[in-house]
Structure 1
Amino acid sequence: MAKNYYGEPARRLGLHYIPYKILPSESSLFRRYARDDPVLTDPVAVNAKGWQVTKKVYLDGQNVRLDMARFRRRLREAYDHWAAQRRRQQSQPL
């Protein structure tokens, strides 16, 4: 879902999209549902129930607390991408 909402628009704007898939433990849903509940184990099946269910569960009913150690890797990837782009731009003759 995030790829459709964030990745594709970013790509169309010429931006580099870096996905981050949260772990169940990073979601408030982890404390609300059993570990084997489809909300946590099979989001595709939940999404198949329609937009209203998806919106209620994942957008309106969820808060996310990032694992900063994991997220740091994405930040590093973003920085490295930015630095590489900057080096390429600076090496081009005027």
Structure 2
Amino acid sequence: MNYDEMLVFSGSGSRKLTARICDYLHISQGKNETLHFSDGNTFVRILENVRGRRVYLVQSTVFPTNDNFMELLFWIDAFKRAGAES
């Protein structure tokens, strides 16, 4: 597999694990941000071009399960809207 063609991103529930995966594969981590507002809303933003690229997201769904799972769904939506290949 050509690691240059893939991007690995981290959800807020798995930052350390994503860093270890990227170190192991000798690739840089994808640039993204997650904002959690005081009213409970979550905002996700991709900070680089993913159009036509193979994207992997590392996101744990441990406690708080609902928040982490919803963030995962937000990331999936954001990557699909940005034109990621898979």
TM-score tier after normalising by the smaller chain length: 0.3 to 0.5
Higher-helix-fraction structure: 1
TM-score (norm: length of structure 2): 0.35
Higher-strand-fraction structure: 2
Structure number with greater CO (CA < 8 Å, separation at least 6) is 2
TM-score (norm: length of structure 1): 0.33
Rg bigger for which structure? 1
